Amino acid sequence: MGDTNQQSARSPVLRHLRSVMITGLLTVIPLFITVYILHIVYGLVTTYTQGPAKWVADKLLTPWAGEWIEPETLREFTVPIFAILISLLIVYLLGLLGTFFVGRKIIARFEHFISNLPLIKGIYGTTKQVMAVFRQGGGGAGFQRVVLVQFPRAGTWTVAFVTNTVKDPVGGQNLVCCFIPLTPNPTSGFFQMFPEIDVRNTDWTVDLGIKIVLSGGLLAPPVLDQGKDPLSPTATETR
C-alpha cells in the first residue's frame, strides 16, 4: 500500500520531468543541427583565408591594441571575423569582375584552362552545371518537372526532379532521367533512369518540390497532385 502511494506521488514529478526533457530536446536538436551546419560552412569558407586573417591580426591590430589586450586573446577573437570578411570580399570581387567585359574574358580564360586539366575538368564542369541548375530561376529552372517514382523499392513513392528524357531504341521506350534529392540537402542525391510508364507526374512546381524535400514532407499539399504551394497567399486564405 505504501509503495503504491509513493509511486502515485512520483508520477506527477516524472511526467513533469519527461515533458520538460522532451521539450528541451525538441528545442536543442534543431539548434545543434544549425550550429553544426554553420560550423561546416565556416570551415569550408575560411579554409584558405585563415592565414591572411592571422597576418592582418598580427601586423595591423597587435601593434595598435597590444598594450590593452594579449596578442593570443586578440587573435582568437579577430581571426574568425577577418577570415569571413576576406572570404566575402573575394566572392564580391569575383562577382564584380564577372560584370565587366574584361573580367568575363579573364574568367573565361581561367575556365578554359581548367577544362583542359585531366580529372579536374570533370569535377569542375559537373559542379558548375549542378550549381547553375539550382541558381536559375531562384532554385530549379534546370529541372523540367516534379514527379513521383518508386524508390528505393517498389511501393515506396519518392519525390524526384526530371532533368531529361532519353529514347531507348532497344527497348522501344523513353527513359526519364530523374534526380532524387536527399533531405534536408537537396543538392545531393541519386540519379536514376526510369521507364516513362513508371513515372507518376504531379502538377507541383519545382520550387514547391524543393520546399517539400527541405521540410521532410511537412509542406506537402494535403491532397496529392493538388499542386498548391502551402506558403502562397491563396493557399493560406483557403485554409
pLDDT value, residue 134: 56
Q: Long-range CB contacts (< 8 A, 24+ apart) of 54-57? A: 54/79, 56/82, 56/86, 57/82
Instruction: List the 200-201 sheet strands across, edge first.
Output: 189-195, 173-181, 157-168, 145-150, 200-201
CA 79 to chain centre: 26
pLDDT value, residue 102: 78
Phi, psi for residue 125 in degrees, rounded to 5:
-65, -45
Cross-strand partners of 164: 177
Q: How many domains does the chain have?
A: 3
Other C-beta atoms closer than 10 Å to the C-beta of 179 total: 20
- 232 lies in some domain: yes
pLDDT value, residue 60: 75
- 21 lies in some domain: no
Q: In the chain, where does DSSP find H-type helix?
A: 2-45, 50-56, 62-65, 71-97, 101-115, 120-135, 206-214, 233-238
148 & 204 share domain: yes
Place of cell 577570415: 83
3-state secondary structure (DSSP) of residue 3: helix
pLDDT value, residue 40: 83
150 & 209 share domain: yes
Pairing relationship of beta strands 157-168 and 200-201 according to DSSP bridges: unpaired
Q: Which residues of 199-236 are buried (b: 16+ CB within 10 A; e: fewer)?
A: beebebbbbbbbbbbeeeeeebbeeeeeebbbeeeeee
Residue ranges of the chain with per-residue pLDDT less than 70: 1-10, 64-67, 71, 126-127, 129-142, 225-239
Instruction: Kindly tell me the burial class for residue 79, based on how many C-beta atoms sit within 10 Å of its own C-beta (0-12, 13-18, 19 or more).
Output: buried
218 & 173 share domain: yes
pLDDT value, residue 65: 65
- 28 lies in some domain: no
- Report the interhelical angle of 101-115 vs 120-135 (nearest 10°): 130
- Spatial distance between the Cα atoms of 82 and 46, rounded to a whole number of angstroms: 9
- For residue 65, the enclosing domain spans 50-93
117 & 65 share domain: no
- The candidate with the shortest Cα–Cα distance to 200, out of 167, 171, 157, 163, is 157
227 & 156 share domain: yes
pLDDT value, residue 31: 82
Q: Out of 30, 60, 93, pick the residue that ends a domain.
A: 93
- 197 lies in some domain: yes
- Spatial distance between the Cα atoms of 57 and 54, rounded to a whole number of angstroms: 5
pLDDT value, residue 132: 64
89 & 110 share domain: no
pLDDT in tens, 184-204: 777 778 999 999 999 999 989
